[in-house]
């Protein structure tokens, strides 16, 4: 049965990859490997624990108007059911462009056999988008451009995404499209239009290996496909040390290397930090890297005696 689902997932990925798409193909979180629900709603509620997550990421320090992304998330399993729910508030600023996302997640789990499960998830919500074109200074003489004569504002643009994950306590294989719907907006008398937050396909997989001295190693691979652009790869590894300490490293096909660390205190508060640097000289000389800090808190809301290990 497991092979049957894998045979379904791979052709589905190829079909979705053939859809005409554009947009941001990289995960917004540097630490997505330990927070897979940020790119796939099917992970919500998987760990049998309720949690809160706050994170802030600053891209390309040193470049004016570089992206700033902040997020608050709440996720929890539903008592006595193989399902989970989540709620996300995300704020993105890129230059003068501002986006505020309000989304909700739902997942449902089916048991395939003694060890293996499959979860389906969907994400729905809206985004508030604003771009003040009048504030852009395009020319040194400050003469306004006739094409930049008004604001771009579009409220309640729809967000809808889908995801699926096949897993047990040691491995996971997932496929997701966080945004299925193509949103458009129009400004000016000429009816200028642009596409915003279009579909992108994420295929991910990982496995947890047991090492001596209760050390765990989890390699992970993420493949992101967008038609018209090169396929994006992110190969990573997380090492789990005794004492709730973990370190990670990502090698990315866009020429970036990411280093991360995370520690969980006895009161279940998690603090993580990550930094990303480009090894390509043409990019590196214009910016000082990207940085992210994350604070999470996990608790056993329903006081379950046995909870699934939190590896992804």
Residue 287 has pLDDT above 90, yes or no: no
Tokens encoding 297: 């808190």
CA distance 38 to 49: 16
The predicted pLDDT at position 254 comes to 86
The predicted pLDDT at position 22 comes to 35
Q: Which residues of 63-75 are buried (b: 16+ CB within 10 A; e: fewer)?
A: eeeebebebebbb
If we measure between CA atoms, which residue out of 225, 233, 115, 224 comes closest to residue 166? 115
Of residues 235 and 62, which shows the higher confidence score? 235
Of the chain, the percentage scoring pLDDT greater than 90 comes to: 46
The predicted pLDDT at position 183 comes to 60
Mean pLDDT over all residues of the chain?
Answer: 81
Residue 31 has pLDDT above 70, yes or no: yes
Tokens encoding 127: 């985004």
DSSP 64: T
CA distance 215 to 247: 12
Residue 79 confidence class, pLDDT cut points 50, 70, 90: confident
Q: Cα dihedral sign for 274, 278, 279, 284?
A: negative
Residue 97 has pLDDT above 50, yes or no: yes
The predicted pLDDT at position 7 comes to 42
Give the mean model confidence (pLDDT) for residues 18-27. Answer: 44
Do β-strands 192-196 and 232-241 pair in parallel, antiparallel, or remain unpaired?
Answer: unpaired
Give the mean model confidence (pLDDT) for residues 106-120. Answer: 94
> How far, in Å, are 33, 74, 182 from residue 259 at the CA level?
12, 25, 34
Q: What is the pLDDT of residues 229-262, one digit of tens each?
A: 788 899 999 999 998 999 999 999 988 999 999 9
CA distance 217 to 140: 54
In 253-307, the DSSP E strands lie at: 256-264, 269-278, 290-299
Beta bridge partners of 42: none
Q: Name residues whose C-beta falls within 8 Å of residue 269's C-beta, 6 or more positions apart in sequence.
A: 295, 296, 297
Residue 11: strand, helix, or coil = helix
CA distance 78 to 186: 41
CATH number of 2-299: 2.40.160.40
Q: What is the pLDDT of residues 116-173, one digit of tens each?
A: 999 999 999 988 888 777 676 666 766 666 666 666 666 677 888 999 999 998 999 9
């Amino acid at each position: 049965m497991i092979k049957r689902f894998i045979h379904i997932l791979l052709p589905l990925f190829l079909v979705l990859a053939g859809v005409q798409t554009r947009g941001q193909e990289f995960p917004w979180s540097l630490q997505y490997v330990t927070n897979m629900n940020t790119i796939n709603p099917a992970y919500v509620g998987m760990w049998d624990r309720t949690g809160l997550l706050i994170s802030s990421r600053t891209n390309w320090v040193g470049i004016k108007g570089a992206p700033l992304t902040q997020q608050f998330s709440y996720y929890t399993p539903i008592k006595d059911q193989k399902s989970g729910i989540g709620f996300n508030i995300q704020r993105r600023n890129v230059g003068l462009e501002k986006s505020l996302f309000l989304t909700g997640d739902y997942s449902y789990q089916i048991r395939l056999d003694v060890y293996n499960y499959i979860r389906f998830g969907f994400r729905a919500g809206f985004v508030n988008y604003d771009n003040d074109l009048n504030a852009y200074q395009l020319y040194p003489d400050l003469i306004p451009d006739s094409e930049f004569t008004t604001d771009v504002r579009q409220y309640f643009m729809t967000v809808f995404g889908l995801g699926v994950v096949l897993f047990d306590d040691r491995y996971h294989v997932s496929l997701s499209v966080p945004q299925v719907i193509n949103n458009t907006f129009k400004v000016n008398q000429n009816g200028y239009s642009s596409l915003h937050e279009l579909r992108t396909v994420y295929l991910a997989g990982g496995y947890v290996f047991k090492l001596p001295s209760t050390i765990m190693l989890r390699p992970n691979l993420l493949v992101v496909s967008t038609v018209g652009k090169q396929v994006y790869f992110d190969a990573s590894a997380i090492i789990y040390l005794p004492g709730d300490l973990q370190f990670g490293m990502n090698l990315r096909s866009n020429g970036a290397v990411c280093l991360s660390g995370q520690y969980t205190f006895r009161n279940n508060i998690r603090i993580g930090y990550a930094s990303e640097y480009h090894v390509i000289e043409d990019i590196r000389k214009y910016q000082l890297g990207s940085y992210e800090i994350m604070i999470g808190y996990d608790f056993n809301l329903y006081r379950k005696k046995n909870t699934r290990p939190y590896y992804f």
